[in-house]
Amino acid sequence: MSATSVIGLQWGDEAKGKIVDLLTAEHDVVVRYLGGNNAGHTVVADGETYKLSLLPAGILHPRVVSVIAAGVVINPKALLDEMDEIAQRRGPIGENLLISDRAHLIFPYHMREESVLENHRKDDAIGTTMRGIGTCYRDKAGRTHAIRMGDLIRPDCFRRRLTDVLEQKNAILTALEPGFQPFDFETLFDEYRGYAEKLERHVTDTTAYLHRALDGGKRLLFEGAQGSLLDIDHGTFPFVTSSNSSGCVVHSGSGVPERAIERMIGVVKAYTTRVGGGPFPTELDDEIGQHIRDVGREYGTVTGRPRRCGWFDAVAAGYAARLSGVDCLTVALLDVLSGLDEIKICEAYEIDGERTTDFPSHVDDLARAQPVYRSLSGWKADITTADSMADLPAETRTYLDTLSALVGSPVEIVSVGPDRRQTIFA
Ligand code: IMP
């Protein structure tokens, strides 16, 4: 058995897309197993930038099979738009895109409900991407209002399911939102059947496919989405996404057994970012934070929102690394820190006068956490052309060694720029 899993160890946007794209060369199948089009993966290939949201990064490699597995929630329009863009830029997508018939579907009422619920929270809004991801996962857990890809491709079944669901969704939204215009059944039915006709040839039992692939000795690569600190059970609840975005669910989201995963790679940025609400102990609300945002182009791939930026938080990343049991680290965007005189790493928190290296389980405690920093010398040299660890300035290597020791995992890959070539393997 040979499978690798790539997991973000912060609040998402750790540049996992680039690493997955690089590792794809040594794998046969790339699997997305959670989240939906709230995720944004930027990959630079052949000098061109691709922003992927639902499609696995494997889609840029014609030899590789890309799987959207059971744990993903799919907005079919968003998926088709993304497929069209890739087809226009790289040629038609063939049989090597497989979509699980077990994956749940997002409908326009999910977005409407999410917007009503988020606006209701006002001051403590989660800051969701408003893509209906949480409301779709909620319906999956509730079952009564859930519609899956396997239902959509069966016209009679889909008509039956949508009839039941839409009647109640229209009633709920009418009660929640003054002036709401109910969704018209036939219009929505026709729209979604149109999507079904385009997607049908890709829809299959991906779990069975992945089992056969493993039996046949194929190498699988699991592409995590979001980051571990956004995990619904283990993250900074309620300021989290609506699925398990740590390494805890690679198997439930894909149907592949845990013991198949041989290598778990944790990805961190050389600093920390966060989009949306919730506590962020190392946040920099000053010119250094703005400098990191400008140099790192820290604006959301999906929503365009400016990301909150701060120093590397080894308490948070260390916790995430232990959650997923990572074997090694990839440190991304290291070049963004070049030019700073001093660089800090948070090595502990002080909460109500007590020093701790445990990550608090309640957001109110995290909100009171004061970062205890270790201060390190910065470096002035341009590191974007370095191609070995030995090429990096001594200060940069000290920074990486300190980060690695505090997180408790070896650094094996370092990214010093967006291009595939700007990658150092330790
Ligand atoms: P949702 O996943 O749209 O419900 O958003 C919940 C929270 O997760 C918000 O703070 C989002 O900004 C955050 N989030 C969701 N997906 C991503 C991602 O791919 N990168 C970073 N943050 C994300």
pLDDT digits (tens, 9 = 90+) for 229-240: 999 999 999 999
Report the pLDDT value the prediction gives residue 420, as an integer from 0 to 100.
Answer: 87
| CA atoms of 213 and 401, how far apart (whole Å) | 38
Task: Compute, in angstroms, the gap from residue 140 CA to the centroid of ligand 1.
Answer: 19
pTM: 0.94
Closest ligand 1 atom, residue 230 Cα: 8
Amino acid at 422: Q
- For residue 212, report the distance from its CA to the centre of ligand 1, in Å: 33
41 annotated active-site: yes
Mean pLDDT of 190-212: 98
Q: Which atom of ligand 1 is nearest to the CA of 225?
A: 19
pLDDT digits (tens, 9 = 90+) for 284-295: 999 999 999 999
Angle at 180 between CA 174 and CA 184, to 5 degrees: 90
**How many Å lie between the centroid of ligand 1 and the Cα of residue 202?**
27
Answer yes or no: is the C-beta of 145 below 6 A from any ligand 1 atom. no
Lowest mean pLDDT, pick from 42-46, 79-83, 304-308: 42-46
The pLDDT tens digits of the residues spanning 256-284 come to 999 999 999 999 999 999 998 999 999 99
Q: What is the pLDDT of residue 304?
A: 84
Residue to mutate (ligand 1; options 128, 246, 298; most atoms within 8 A of CB): 128
The burial class, CB within 10 Å (0-12 / 13-18 / 19+), for 105 is buried
pLDDT for 104 equals 98
% of residues, the chain, pLDDT over 90: 86
Pairwise pLDDT comparison (123 vs 206), residue with the higher score: 206
pLDDT reading at 76 higher than 90: yes
For residue 127, report the distance from its CA to the centre of ligand 1, in Å. Answer: 8
Average pLDDT for residues 33-39, to the nearest whole number?
94
Ligand 1 contact via 245 beta carbon (within 6 Å):
no
| Most distant pair of Cα atoms in the chain: their distance | 66
131 lines ligand 1 (CB under 6 A): yes
Q: Is the CB of 126 under 6 A from ligand 1?
A: yes
Tell me: pLDDT of 119 over 90.
Answer: no
Residue 366 Cα, ligand 1 centroid: separation in angstroms?
19
314-324 vs 394-407: helix crossing angle, rounded to 10: 60
Q: What's the rounded Cα separation, in Å, for the pair 316 and 192? A: 41
Distance (Å) from CA 215 to ligand 1 centroid: 35
Q: What is the pLDDT of residues 145-172, one digit of tens each?
A: 999 999 999 999 999 999 999 999 999 9
d(CA 317, CA 308): 17
Whose CA is closest to atom 21 on ligand 1? 12
DSSP summary character for residue 362: S
Grouping H, G, I as helix, E, B as strand and the rest as coil, residue 331 is strand
- Name the pLDDT band for 1 (thresholds 50, 70, 90): low
Ligand 1 atom closest to Cα of residue 38: 16
- Asked if residue 114 has its Cβ within 6 Å of ligand 1, the reply is no
Q: Which of 216, 333, 347, 217 is nearest to 267 (CA)?
A: 333
Q: What letters, b where the CB count within 10 A reaches 16 and e where it falls short, cover 293-307? A: bebbebebbbbeeeb
Measuring from atom 1 of ligand 1, which residue has the nearest CA? 128
| 310: confidence class by pLDDT, cuts 50, 70, 90 | very high
Catalytic site includes residue 13:
yes
Find the catalytic residue in 21, 28, 41, 104: 41
